[in-house]
């Protein structure tokens, strides 16, 4: 674990025994230390106090989940590609004019929660939360690939589609001038 702390959060005595839990919820590490340095932004001077350190993010994890929070997923794999699909099947499955997704290896994704599956074609099944209905995945097991819906990512702005596929099914009112390639069917690559 890195010893370089970006910054820390003051943990006041009012949190008492809940302090480690609060740190954990904030994605931080709880520790006891001598509270006398400016870099630790500690409570009190020269006294042993509880500190909550925010560690630098050294992972490139892609994390997401559903609207109600019951379903979660994570992967540390590099994306295979990031596409916006305009086919009618994806429009129906997502209830949106397009399906933007980050494609990663299927065997790299860890999933939890009440995930339901619907086989929308012989080679594709779609995952969703059975509680709130959020569309989460499009899985092609034969290709060991799974698409993570960009709207379900915890940080959806971390990715942007690099091409538009199945634009032959694109809704007429949509106009894209983003400069990315547009293919009337599947991507040639």
**pLDDT tens digit sequence for 59-85:** 589 999 999 999 999 999 999 999 999
Question: Stretch 161-165: mean pLDDT, rounded?
Answer: 93
What are the structural domains of the chain?
7-54 (no CATH), 62-169 (2.170.150.70)
Tally of CA atoms within 13 A in the half-sphere of 106 that contains its CB: 14
Asked if the model's pLDDT at residue 48 lies above 70, the reply is no
Say which residue, 172 or 46, is predicted with more confidence: 172
Cα 66 to Cα 3: distance, rounded to the nearest angstrom: 34
Percent of the chain with pLDDT over 70: 68
Q: What is the reported pLDDT for 187?
A: 85
27 SS3 class: coil
Q: What is the reported pLDDT for 27?
A: 54
Say which residue, 187 or 15, is predicted with more confidence: 187
Cα 73 to Cα 67: distance, rounded to the nearest angstrom: 13
Residue 58 banded pLDDT, cuts 50, 70, 90: very low
Asked if the model's pLDDT at residue 13 lies above 90, the reply is no
- DSSP per residue, 71-90: -EEEE-SPPSEEEEE--HHH
Asked if the model's pLDDT at residue 55 lies above 60, the reply is no
Residues in the chain: 189
Mind listing the pLDDT tens digit for each residue in 166-182? Answer: 999 999 999 888 889 99
């Amino acid at each position: 674990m890195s010893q370089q702390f970006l910054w820390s959060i003051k943990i006041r005595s009012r949190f008492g025994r809940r302090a480690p839990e609060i740190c954990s919820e904030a994605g931080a590490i709880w520790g006891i230390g001598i509270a006398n340095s400016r870099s630790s932004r500690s409570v009190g001077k020269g006294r042993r106090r509880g500190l909550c350190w925010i560690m630098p993010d050294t992972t490139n994890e892609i994390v997401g989940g559903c609207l109600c929070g019951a379903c979660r997923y994570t992967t540390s794999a590099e994306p295979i590609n990031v596409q916006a699909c305009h086919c009618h099947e994806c429009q129906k499955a997502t209830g949106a004019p397009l399906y933007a997704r980050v494609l990663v290896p299927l065997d790299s994704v860890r999933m939890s929660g009440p995930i339901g599956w619907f086989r929308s074609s012989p080679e594709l099944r779609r995952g969703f939360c059975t509680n709130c209905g959020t569309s989460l995945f499009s899985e092609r097991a034969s290709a060991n690939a799974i698409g993570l819906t960009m709207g379900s990512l915890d940080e959806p702005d971390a990715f942007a589609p690099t091409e538009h596929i199945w634009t032959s099914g694109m809704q007429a009112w949509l106009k894209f001038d983003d400069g990315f390639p547009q293919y009337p069917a599947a991507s040639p690559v």
